[in-house]
């Protein structure tokens, strides 16, 4: 989470919520998976998706590719809120528990923009009827597009 001094107000995101939702809607993989923006602020996002059978692997857990989609998207959309148009340069994803539940949630935040790159973190949870379980965490480098 980006920290601002008490007397400072948080800067306005580079994209409006409507603009970032339009980008999400025209991203075929995110749209197919059902990724939805829950909250969107300068340097922070929360996204989720409802689990369904076609998003699971052979044991019935949420597939790693879907967990990766959420990790990548949460980091990229958090970075986009600060620097505008971005692509993922790299990310590392650590799986901590099986993704078993009805909803996957991802919280992405910017750790620090540095020049053309922005370092972000995402934590991915699976919601069951009674609890929220941390299933993965990611660290990503997000690159700003169109800037030399």
Q: Where are the domains of the chain?
A: 17-144
Residue 17, burial from CB neighbour count under 10 angstroms (0-12, 13-18, 19+): middle
Instruction: Write out pLDDT tens, residues 42-90.
Output: 999 999 999 999 999 999 999 999 999 999 999 999 999 999 999 999 9
CATH of region 17-144, choose from 3.10.129.10, 1.20.120.80, 3.40.50.10490, 3.40.50.2300: 3.10.129.10
Question: How much is the mean pLDDT over the chain?
Answer: 91
3-state class (DSSP) for residue 87: strand
Mean pLDDT of 1-6: 52
Instruction: Identify whether the C-beta of residue 55 lies closer than 8 Å to the C-beta of residue 35.
Output: no
Look at residue 73 and give its three-state secondary structure: helix
* pLDDT > 70? residue 6: no
Residue 115 binned pLDDT confidence (cut-offs 50, 70, 90): confident
101: left (phi > 0), else alpha (psi -120 to 50), else beta? left
15-44, pLDDT tens digit by residue?
Answer: 899 999 998 888 999 999 999 999 999 999
Separation between Cα atoms, residue 28 and residue 135, nearest integer Å: 24
More confident residue, 4 or 77: 77
β partners of residue 117: 114, 143
Beta bridge partners of 107: 46, 123
Sheet strands (E) in 10-131: 36-41, 44-50, 86-95, 103-114, 117-127
* pLDDT confidence tier of residue 114, bands split at 50, 70 and 90: confident
């Amino acid at each position: 989470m980006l920290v601002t001094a008490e007397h400072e107000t948080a800067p306005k995101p580079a994209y409006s919520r409507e603009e970032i939702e339009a980008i999400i809607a025209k991203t075929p993989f995110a749209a197919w998976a059902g990724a939805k923006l829950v909250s969107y602020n300068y340097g922070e996002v929360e996204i989720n998706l409802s689990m369904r059978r076609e998003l699971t692997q052979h044991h019935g857990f949420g597939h790693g590719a879907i967990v990766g989609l959420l990790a990548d998207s949460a980091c990229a959309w958090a970075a986009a809120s600060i620097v505008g148009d971005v692509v993922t340069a790299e990310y590392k994803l650590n799986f901590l528990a099986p993704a078993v539940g009805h909803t996957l949630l991802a919280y992405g935040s910017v750790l620090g923009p540095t020049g053309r790159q922005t370092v972000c973190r995402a934590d991915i949870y699976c919601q069951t009827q009674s609890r929220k379980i941390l299933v993965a965490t990611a660290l990503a480098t997000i690159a700003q597009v169109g800037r030399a």
